[in-house]
Structure 1
Amino acid sequence: MMFTTNTGSLYHRSTPFLLLLTLALIFSSCKTSEPESYRSAAEIPPLPEPEEEIVAEDQPVAEPTDIDSLLQEMTLEEKIGQLFVSPAYGRFTNNKDPQYIRLKRLIENYHLGGIIFMQGDVYGQAMLTNRLQDYSKIPLWIAQDMEFGAAMRVSGSTRITPAMGVAATGDPANAYLKGKITAREARTLGVNQIFAPVLDVNNNPENPVINVRSFSADPAMVSLYGQYMIDGIESEGVMATAKHFPGHGDTDVDSHLALPVIHHDFSRIDSLELRPFRETINNGLRSVMSAHIAYPNISRNGDMPGTMDESILNDILIDSLGFEGLIVTDGLEMKGIADHYSPGEAVIYALKAGVDMMLISPDEMSAINELKIAVEQGEVAEERIDRSVRKILQLKKEQDAFSNPRVDLQNLSSSINTPVYQSIADRIARNSVTILKDSENILPIREVDHLNILAVALADDESGSTGSSFARELRKYHGNVNFHVLDRRTSLEEKTEILEAADDADLILIGSFIIVRSHQPIQVQPEQLQFLRQLISRPIPSALVAFGNPYVLRDLPNTDAHVMAWSSNANQVRQTVPALFGASEVAGKLPINIPGMYEIGDGLEFNQSNIRFDSPESAGMSTEKLLELDMVMQEAINDSVFPGGVVGVMRKGVMVWQQGYGYHDYDKTRKVANDDVYDLASLTKVIATTTSMMKLVDDGRLDVQDRVAKYIPEFDTDDKREITIDQLLTHTSGLPAFQVYVDELKTREEIVRAVRNEPLVNNPGEEYVYSDLGFILLAEIVEEVSGLRIDRYVRNNFFYPMGMKSSFFNPQKTGRWISNRIPPTEIDTTYRDGLVQAEVHDERAWFMDGVAGHAGLFSSADDLSRLAYLLLNNGQFGGREYLKPETIKTFTERRSPINQRAYGYDRKSDGFSTAGELTGPNSFGHTGFTGTSFWIDPDEEIAIIILTNRVHPSRTYGSTISRVRAKIADAVMEAIEH
């Protein structure tokens, strides 16, 4: 059976889940602009339980409770108390705290039925839940708003993209996973009911309170995604709650501040607002939250709020739609209610209208007392109270609240915000990114095109720190970002600075952090808008990224690019910024209409073309297992194999690990940084020389079967005439490994002349002798053909356009900004009489002015990962083809009949290999004498990069480096989740 949308398969249910551990592997990025029909969520594969879950000691288990018997035993006061749910903050609370004492008294004296937790943290909420449950004769019902995942209220848990962003992914299974993860964390925290999803159809761009909380402006899409989220929540035994009945999407008033009024007739509301509720009720919806909105044209009660209106709840929800589940009020403290009705009046009206559970009364004690009086005076029948209380007690029984109301504190650390949950949340955030406009081909941003970026965070607050995560993420992908905040505290002087910075910029990025927040506007304020229009009037391209209210695009229609990101949360920012630089695929589709600009289903598509910096789980690897690298590296450092180093791991286009270990030297005064630059030694042969040869072959300027004599006249002799370039590349030319030369020859010209004339030690093609001399000659051929010495050729054609900013020959000539990041190599007592640092370690390369085909290149793990990405991505990087796929295939397959080597690259040998035991048979790479290593397994799409200075302080150190390389490679491969 296939779980499909109208555009193709999402997932085959027989696939083992571990293959889908990471986001990208759990579900494909299926996109659709038309909502599909609902299919059973049972077809979605199960989410695994957290590993190594600790089971707490058994709690005392009560006998099964007979609800009718319990109800008969309860006093009127006890029954009334069950209807009320009061707010609490899930943080550490002292026993003498006034709010804590008040809650305790509500529970003990007023028989409070439940708690709705507001903001808090994992342990604070769990511990407070247990303390409050201890005071309650009947277990408390625990509820919480979790529209954006548990982290909407509980810090430390998993935050998931708002509903509108989930719909933008085009994959309703994401709504199911969102619901399931949220419910699983809620269940772990002792939460019985989640107030989500929002089933309002957000068809009013001026709506100040729903906005991205809604899935769409299309009722069919709201129904579809809402149902999937409900199924995900309910699959974990937690109650979902659809809100806000009969619909809050077409309002322009915030019901927290006033009473909205909707004047549509029943025909309109029935066809649009009611559709998601009707369809989910038909599918078994168990709980609905009412809206504090008046509907005078469908009610016989004029402007009475829907929460208190029998015409809305009894007549439409219960009688017409046949809803039999739990009806909950929205917060009764909201001004749409509290400004017009006393606490008791609001509850009595709501109860008569059909409500079962009263949420956040502004004065529970008064409300409870007024309701009791109303029952005693016959205004409200006790049987009406019983009907709602019976529902509530039955739900408590179904959720085992009577047998085990307490939270298992030992279980929290293994069950909240697991790597699996976070990786799914990351993938949903990444897939939600929607690009609606790119009129000047700004995207993806390439540093070579836009050297200087001015980034402005637009905010509606005055913290001064809004957008800090935006700046941080931009700087991961671009070396020159000038960042400013434009908020309510921005001074005239600061605005002048922004305008001056724009004069030096090549691109303006505006990140809008104007979000849906009660009591605050969701539009760009006039003064800010005037300034922004002045800013983007400059003749340079500009882009607007909406981290929140998507309708803000209407205020700045003339920016050259429009990007939807749906949320200002730091995690959403982390998953959005890569898309701007081509570091993640973009295929999001707009689920709303933006009047006069965009329609539902709009959205440009971009393939990934750059490396993304992300978690191991996002590429199907385990962070926990990769931490084994820490132990391998520390053991090697302890054994003085090297003083320190950097390990980089890239898989499936994601840099999942870039970690510095140890120190620059054995004095241990300077720690290795993740971006430190190392002498690559013989990695130069593949990173510079082989790559250059590939390019020349691609361009048709030479052929690997060409005779060397065509380019090196000294080879036009009887014994050398038949030597070909491919024999130099496979070390089968007959040349010796190396000659010392430098004992007598001290200049580049002398050494190159000697190499050109070096006698052979074997007949060409008959023996394998690893030769530096062959690669010195290959670099000479590059210069002969291109007219550029190899350092300039490889920089112009690869390093500079690919943003490999730390890859240089002779880095000491570049400046201290890079020289200071280079650990020293050997203390040379033969030629240089001192410590070698920021200049090539290899003596022959040093006497060749630091530039040679066999050694001399310096680089970082980040830079090398870019070249690895190019090799694994069919020669493309940053949207540009640097090498042809067939050329890469030709150069990296086994090419020698007498050894394992490819062209330039080594291949994994049958016996011991520095690539370890677990890399595949098609793996190719190289090592360097200074302690460097570069291995690629194309079958697993993985690159393993090791940079060390194992020759420090002497080349006699580090004799066990080969075994360390193999251990690192195996640890990396073990971390792949199959």
Structure 2
Amino acid sequence: MNKLVPHPKASATLSLKEKVGQLFMPAAFINDSEVDIQALEKLIKEHHIGSLCFFHSRASAATNFEGKKEVMFNEESLNTLKNLIARYQKGANLPLLISIDAEWGLAMRVENAPQYPYAITQGAIVGHTDLMFKIGKNIAHDCKYCGIHWNLAPVVDINNNPNNPVIGYRSYGENKEVVSEKAIAYTLGTKSEGILACAKHFPGHGDTAVDSHLGLPIIKKSKEALLENELFPFQELIENGVESVMIGHLAVPSLSNGENTPATLSKEIIKGVLRQEMQFSGVVISDALNMHSVSKMYPIKGELEWTAFDAGNDVLCFAENTKEGIDLILKNASAQQIEESFERFWKLKLKAFSQLEKAPDAIRNPDILNHKLAYESLSLIHGEQKEIKTFRNEGFVGVAIGKKTHNPFFNTISKSVPFTAFSTESSSKKAFLEKTEGKNILLTLFPNQAKPKDKFGVSPQDFELVSELLANQNVILYLFGNPYFLRLLNFQKAKAVVVAYQEFETFQQNAANHFLGKVDAKGKLPITLNSEVCRSTK
């Protein structure tokens, strides 16, 4: 990492064009070709770029959100990231502000990096904001290790639409107070390590069934309803000193004079609601400008960048037309408009570098904290603990959907209670039904993905089998994945349902100890499933 700190008065020597260049945040890719790395180095130097946002690879970036290109695996990504940051800093005219999306840790973008539970898992924890503080602090420590100054987190969207294809598990839940208190704690933990935080995606991306990577969501709520709910966490974070706010690509007509203008491009939303009404004076950063919800609206290079800047964005994230964007901003914007955005960004940059300490020698081990998070988040959402005890004493067979039978959950249980286990990876549906007919079923679900596309990655055959077992057998169900998956099932047919949220080893072991009656389920489901009022254990 470049140890040079930008001098507070260095801005006085910059031309207006160089100041505009500081507001551009191109994407940098950890797993990139040498040709593309050199091209970005040239762009940084020629246009006085002020910041970079790191992504895993071009194949994993926003425009490939639906997985049209194969994403490579690089077990050395963490070292690659560190080395690239140092390289780009060395070639920059002024030190770069380095950012990344590390909502649940560097693992969001980097292989073999520490991973913490998704926000929805954290949302299940009753109280214990100290644990969210530690998550933010640990992730910030890891960012500092790499040379990153700005974690584009937390997500403060209230996920009140169960069909949301892109937020869902990234949200703390559907309760505004829960979302606010956990996001504040995470942010304070981030700041305690001298790393910048960012509240996203303003004015709230939770109540939509459209993925803004691909299309433009439209939220048709009244302004009064938004002030009461969606805008509440943003206001709370602003009052608690969050340094930046990211604007989402979603249309909210009640906040923009009845127009379906994306919030990222709406003066009424950014300059009106966020700046004037909510009194936010920090840096406003756009969501990725390559996302199809806005990028397809502007075929002429540079127009999107100019429009986003004119709407009130200080930092243009994932800007793909840097030269053309700079030229149009210089042509159309007043000197005062440029200076105001630059001053906000420069102040943020100076703060980030003034907080720099010696980079830590290693990343944090997440295991101890994850163990505590597993213990506090486990949620018994249907049935009673006594039914699990009766079930256990009567005898049962284990059925694993999406994992082999030799998994930490089954392995932990088998040390105390002998049982036979089957897996869909090694048995056909017919064989399953023959071997389990009339028996108690300890059913474990491991959906392949946290996003809802294609039934969370569960194959049609496995989904059909789960449905049949729930309908015809005596089932205790443990889910190691996104609880929204249960909406697809008649889960009330089970004797009991427990949500463990993550498939980390420590989460599986804790869930096994719950089945054995050794630990309680302390968590509370942070969302509503169907019309069922799911119980919580406190």
| Kept after mapping to 1: 8 A contact 2:397/2:440 | yes
Tell me what 2:374 maps to: 429
| Kept after mapping to 1: 8 A contact 2:395/2:419 | no
Partner Cα separation in structure 2 for residue 220 and residue 604 of structure 1: 19
For the residue of structure 1 that corresponds to 2:162, the secondary structure is coil
Tell me: CA distance 1:574–1:508, structure 2 relative to 1, closer, same or farther (3 Å).
Answer: closer
Partner Cα separation in structure 2 for residue 568 and residue 66 of structure 1: 47
Tell me what 2:328 maps to: 373
Residues 1:263 and 2:220 are matched in the alignment: yes
Tell me what 2:513 maps to: 578
| Kept after mapping to 2: 8 A contact 1:313/1:354 | yes
| Kept after mapping to 1: 8 A contact 2:252/2:260 | yes
Partner Cα separation in structure 1 for residue 333 and residue 455 of structure 2: 41
Q: Paired residue for 1:559, among 494, 504, 511?
A: 494
Partner Cα separation in structure 1 for residue 533 and residue 317 of structure 2: 38
Counterpart residue type for residue 166 of structure 1: Q
Per-residue deviation, 1:469:
9.0
Per-residue deviation, 1:183:
1.2
Partner Cα separation in structure 1 for residue 183 and residue 130 of structure 2: 11
Residues 1:121 and 2:77 are matched in the alignment: yes
Partner Cα separation in structure 2 for residue 168 and residue 504 of structure 1: 34
For the residue of structure 2 that corresponds to 1:107, the secondary structure is helix
Per-residue deviation, 1:157:
3.5
| Kept after mapping to 2: 8 A contact 1:328/1:359 | yes
For the residue of structure 2 that corresponds to 1:270, the secondary structure is helix
Structure holding more helix per residue: 2
Structure 1, 275-284 or 307-316: larger mean CA deviation: 275-284
Tell me: CA distance 1:101–1:517, structure 2 relative to 1, closer, same or farther (3 Å).
Answer: farther
| Kept after mapping to 1: 8 A contact 2:104/2:118 | yes
Per-residue deviation, 1:402:
11
1:323-338 equivalence runs, <5 A: 323-338=280-295
Tell me: CA distance 1:556–1:88, structure 2 relative to 1, closer, same or farther (3 Å).
Answer: farther
Per-residue deviation, 1:445:
8.4
Partner Cα separation in structure 2 for residue 175 and residue 402 of structure 1: 22
For the residue of structure 1 that corresponds to 2:465, the secondary structure is helix
Tell me what 2:154 maps to: 197
Partner Cα separation in structure 1 for residue 105 and residue 283 of structure 2: 22
Structure 2 unaligned residues grouped into runs of 5+: 57-75
Residues 1:502 and 2:436 are matched in the alignment: yes
| Kept after mapping to 2: 8 A contact 1:138/1:402 | no
For the residue of structure 1 that corresponds to 2:102, the secondary structure is coil
| Kept after mapping to 1: 8 A contact 2:106/2:115 | yes
Counterpart residue type for residue 486 of structure 2: V
Q: Paired residue for 2:169, among 212, 216, 229?
A: 212
Partner Cα separation in structure 2 for residue 469 and residue 183 of structure 1: 36
Tell me: CA distance 1:89–1:100, structure 2 relative to 1, closer, same or farther (3 Å).
Answer: same
Tell me what 1:543 maps to: 477
1:863-902 equivalence runs, <5 A: none
Residues 1:318 and 2:271 are matched in the alignment: no
1:17-56 equivalence runs, <5 A: none
Residues 1:286 and 2:243 are matched in the alignment: yes
| Kept after mapping to 2: 8 A contact 1:205/1:551 | no
| Kept after mapping to 2: 8 A contact 1:475/1:481 | no
Partner Cα separation in structure 2 for residue 125 and residue 577 of structure 1: 37
1:603-622 equivalence runs, <5 A: 603-604=536-537
Per-residue deviation, 1:521:
5.2
Tell me what 1:417 maps to: 364
Q: Paired residue for 2:88, among 132, 155, 166?
A: 132
Tell me: CA distance 1:266–1:223, structure 2 relative to 1, closer, same or farther (3 Å).
Answer: same
| Kept after mapping to 1: 8 A contact 2:199/2:234 | yes
| Kept after mapping to 2: 8 A contact 1:440/1:560 | no
Q: Paired residue for 2:106, among 150, 167, 176?
A: 150
Counterpart residue type for residue 110 of structure 1: H
Partner Cα separation in structure 2 for residue 152 and residue 470 of structure 1: 27
| Kept after mapping to 2: 8 A contact 1:548/1:568 | no
Tell me: CA distance 1:129–1:533, structure 2 relative to 1, closer, same or farther (3 Å).
Answer: same
Counterpart residue type for residue 53 of structure 2: I
* Seq. identity, %: 25
Partner Cα separation in structure 1 for residue 457 and residue 255 of structure 2: 31
Tell me what 1:860 maps to: none
Per-residue deviation, 1:518:
8.2
For the residue of structure 1 that corresponds to 2:330, the secondary structure is helix
Tell me: CA distance 1:374–1:81, structure 2 relative to 1, closer, same or farther (3 Å).
Answer: closer
Partner Cα separation in structure 1 for residue 216 and residue 453 of structure 2: 14
Partner Cα separation in structure 2 for residue 470 and residue 247 of structure 1: 41
For the residue of structure 2 that corresponds to 1:138, the secondary structure is coil
Residues 1:245 and 2:187 are matched in the alignment: no
| Kept after mapping to 2: 8 A contact 1:86/1:114 | yes
Structure with the larger RCO, 1 or 2 (CA within 8 Å, 6+ apart): 2
Per-residue deviation, 1:301:
6.2
Q: Paired residue for 1:159, among 107, 112, 115?
A: 115
Tell me what 1:844 maps to: none
| Kept after mapping to 2: 8 A contact 1:554/1:594 | no
Residues 1:233 and 2:167 are matched in the alignment: no
| Kept after mapping to 1: 8 A contact 2:17/2:326 | no
For the residue of structure 2 that corresponds to 1:513, the secondary structure is coil
Per-residue deviation, 1:321:
0.2
Counterpart residue type for residue 160 of structure 2: N
| Kept after mapping to 2: 8 A contact 1:158/1:417 | yes
1:345-494 equivalence runs, <5 A: 345-361=303-319, 363=320, 366-376=321-331, 379-400=332-353, 408=359, 411-413=360-362, 416-418=363-365, 421-438=366-383, 441-443=386-388, 449-457=394-402, 467-468=403-404, 471-478=407-414, 479-485=418-424, 494=428
For the residue of structure 2 that corresponds to 1:292, the secondary structure is coil
| Kept after mapping to 2: 8 A contact 1:147/1:196 | yes
Partner Cα separation in structure 2 for residue 165 and residue 583 of structure 1: 21
| Alignment deviations for residues 206-240 of structure 1 (CA, whole Å, 9 cap, x no partner) | 11211121112111221111111111111111111
Per-residue deviation, 1:532:
2.4
| Kept after mapping to 1: 8 A contact 2:264/2:286 | yes
Partner Cα separation in structure 2 for residue 124 and residue 468 of structure 1: 33
1:628-667 equivalence runs, <5 A: none
Per-residue deviation, 1:130:
0.8
Tell me what 1:588 maps to: 523
1:903-922 equivalence runs, <5 A: none
Counterpart residue type for residue 41 of structure 2: K
For the residue of structure 1 that corresponds to 2:114, the secondary structure is coil
Partner Cα separation in structure 2 for residue 445 and residue 371 of structure 1: 69
Counterpart residue type for residue 134 of structure 1: K
Per-residue deviation, 1:452:
2.6
For the residue of structure 1 that corresponds to 2:400, the secondary structure is strand
| Alignment deviations for residues 162-208 of structure 1 (CA, whole Å, 9 cap, x no partner) | 22221211122221111111112212221111111111111111112
The Cα RMSD (Å) is 2.9
| Kept after mapping to 1: 8 A contact 2:450/2:481 | no
| Kept after mapping to 2: 8 A contact 1:452/1:504 | no
Tell me: CA distance 1:85–1:468, structure 2 relative to 1, closer, same or farther (3 Å).
Answer: farther
Counterpart residue type for residue 195 of structure 2: V
Partner Cα separation in structure 2 for residue 468 and residue 277 of structure 1: 43
Structure 1, 111-120 or 439-448: larger mean CA deviation: 439-448
Counterpart residue type for residue 536 of structure 2: G
Tell me: CA distance 1:497–1:338, structure 2 relative to 1, closer, same or farther (3 Å).
Answer: farther
Partner Cα separation in structure 1 for residue 334 and residue 212 of structure 2: 30
| Kept after mapping to 2: 8 A contact 1:327/1:354 | yes
Tell me: CA distance 1:301–1:345, structure 2 relative to 1, closer, same or farther (3 Å).
Answer: farther
| Kept after mapping to 1: 8 A contact 2:474/2:494 | no
Per-residue deviation, 1:86:
2.4
1:770-781 equivalence runs, <5 A: none
